[in-house]
Amino acid sequence: MLAVISPAKNLDYASPLVTPRYSQPDFLDDAEELIEQLKLLAPEEVGELMKLSEKLSLLNANRYQSWRRPVTPADARPAILAFNGDVYVGLDVKSLSETDFSYAQDHLRILSGLYGQLKPLDLM
């Protein structure tokens, strides 16, 4: 059985990682194609398209501009550790063990408008 959760608008790329493990998104080629199109938009257009605040619009536009392949832990982090919203606070991801991460990797998916279906440890 798979549990499916939503992403969060807020992202955390600053806190310490609680696992060194990561995986690659299944639909990375498709995400790259979308990002190449998003790079063409001004921050205001990104905000209008995604219904984001001015601050989040600028932040996301800057992220799209700096996105590169290959996606590595040096410039990305696992989805379950990047998303920062109510669902993720409820999961208490910072307290998960390596066994918990393995279970989540097999039984949890995160829906993303950019990356499609993400496994918890997929870099984004």
pTM reported for the whole predicted model: 0.89
DSSP 93-111: GGG--HHHHHHHHHHEEEE
In the prediction, which pLDDT does 55 show? Answer: 93
In the prediction, which pLDDT does 10 show? Answer: 85
pLDDT > 90 in the chain, percent? 91
- Tens-digit pLDDT profile for residues 84-105: 999 999 999 989 999 999 999 9
DSSP 30-93: HHHHHHHHHTTS-HHHHHHHHT--HHHHHHHHHHHHH--SS--TTT--BHHHHB-SHHHHHHTG
Backbone angles phi, psi at 122, to 5 degrees: -65, 130
Q: Is 32 a residue whose pLDDT tops 90? A: yes
Are the beta carbons of 104 and 112 closer than 8 angstroms?
no
Distance CA 120, CA 53 (A): 26
- The pLDDT-based confidence of 36 (bands split at 50, 70, 90) is very high
pLDDT top residue among 10 and 32: 32
- Tens-digit pLDDT profile for residues 43-81: 999 999 999 999 989 999 999 999 999 999 998 999 999
Distance CA 71, CA 90 (A): 28
